[in-house]
Amino acid sequence: MKFTDKGSSQRAVTKDGYLVVPATISKVGVFDYHASELGLQDSTVKKVARTENSLFSDRTLASFEGVPLTIGHPEQGVNAKNWKDLSVGVVRNVKRVGDTLAAEAWVYDENAIKLIQDEGIEELSCGYDCDIVTTTVQDADFEMSPMIGNHVAIVAKGRCGPTVKFADEDKSIMSKSVKFLDALLGVFGIKLSDEQKQKVEEEEKKEEGEKQPSKPETKPEKPVEKDEDEEKKTKEKTKVNDAALVQENEQLKAQIKQLQDAQKSTEEENKRTALLADAKVHFADVTFADKATVREIQQSAVVSTGIFSEDEAKALSDAEMAGAYVAAKATAKKLADQNLGRVLIGDAKPAPRFDFNSYNQGAK
């Protein structure tokens, strides 16, 4: 499905730079699924109906509210362990509009916003769980039980087509989209070569041709053996093209990993620097190495207050050490206040005593 409209009247950018886009994320209909996607053993294509009950049950609408927005479908569903690495935004205000499931896509990630705004990558694909059950829908082999949303992915081409933009992704087509690959790679400074683009475009044309209505059969002018030989060559060529795209995707994953690692390293260094500055203020009598790690800074501060010994501090977990550091700051403040009181008392000079009797004798 798709982002509803690219016009400025529909899209909005928040004061923090987030992109908010009206989106259609799925629709009712009958769609093609490879048997293997349904857990079946054969290699045929099955017709699966997505009914109103599949898409518009209260449970389905609630399940898509707040799901993560991702670039492409992750190999596994989005969960508490991986959402930080996969999510580029969130889906909000999910509702039924006619025979479609509509929502707002809130895109937080800068690179994802570039893909949508500058490169025109705007089709969407729902990631969800459901059961495949028998159906009475005409021309369908099965139908879906009520869908339970997990994520919504930004893809090159979705199974529902361009009417569902920015839901179910046609993975075989997505993997061969020049525009999607070139745009996505371009955000990270990688470009497809002209030869690679040509190969991908040839493969797309080939697949589009396969989807056209078949022409009346005509008597082959060449021997069958020749046709089989050509088919074998075509399959081998397809494998080569797919291998090149797989390699490009691996390079992309590596590039994204480098960017994520660099960002994580920067965040950790900022945290370490801020902690070092804080420790030097609250523990003025302690010497901290400029290159000390977060753990080393916290441990030196904690041991200096006597809350824990050196050996006891080493046995603490990182979470326990962080809590001990907060306690150490409070302890250091109390000790500093006590010392200040002692200094003030020790510095106060006794007032001179006035001998009234001596004063009176002197006056006589």
**Each residue of 109-154: pLDDT tens digit?**
998 888 777 766 667 888 889 898 988 898 899 999 999 999 998 8
**Residue 234 scores a pLDDT above 50:** yes
Helix (H, G, I), strand (E, B) or coil at 153: strand
Reading the block at residue 95, the tokens are: 């509702």
Whose CA is closest to 90, among 186, 14, 169, 8? 14
The percent of residues above 70 in pLDDT, for the chain, comes to 62
Helices 178-187 and 110-117, axial angle in degrees (round to 10)? 140
Of 134, 128, 194, the residue nearest 159 (C-alpha): 128
**Four-point Cα dihedral 233, 238, 240, 244, nearest 10:** 160
Instruction: State the average pLDDT over residues 178-194.
Output: 51
With contact defined as beta carbons under 8 Å apart, do 78 and 86 qualify?
yes
Phi, psi of 169 (to 5 degrees): -85, 135
- Band (89; pLDDT cuts 50, 70, 90): very high
Beta bridge partner(s), residue 107: 19, 89
Q: Which amino acid is at 218?
A: T
* Residue range 61-67: mean pLDDT, rounded: 96
Average pLDDT over residues 77-84: 92
Q: Is the pLDDT of residue 242 over 50?
A: yes
Alpha-carbon distances of 17 from 10, 111, 207, rounded to whole Å: 16, 12, 39
Q: What is the mean pLDDT of residues 255-277?
A: 84
- Amino acid of residue 158: G
Residue 18 binned pLDDT confidence (cut-offs 50, 70, 90): very high
Start-to-end Cα distance in the chain: 113
Length of the chain: 364
Backbone angles phi, psi at 240, to 5 degrees: -65, -45
Q: Which of 69, 159, 155 is nearest to 108 (CA)?
A: 69
Domain ranges in the chain? 12-170, 175-205+238-273, 283-347
**Tokens for 47?**
């017709």
Using the predicted structure, report yes or no on whether residue 352 has a pLDDT greater than 70.
no
pLDDT digits (tens, 9 = 90+) for 289-322: 988 999 999 999 988 888 788 888 888 898 888 8
pLDDT in tens, 21-53: 888 888 999 988 888 878 888 888 889 999 999
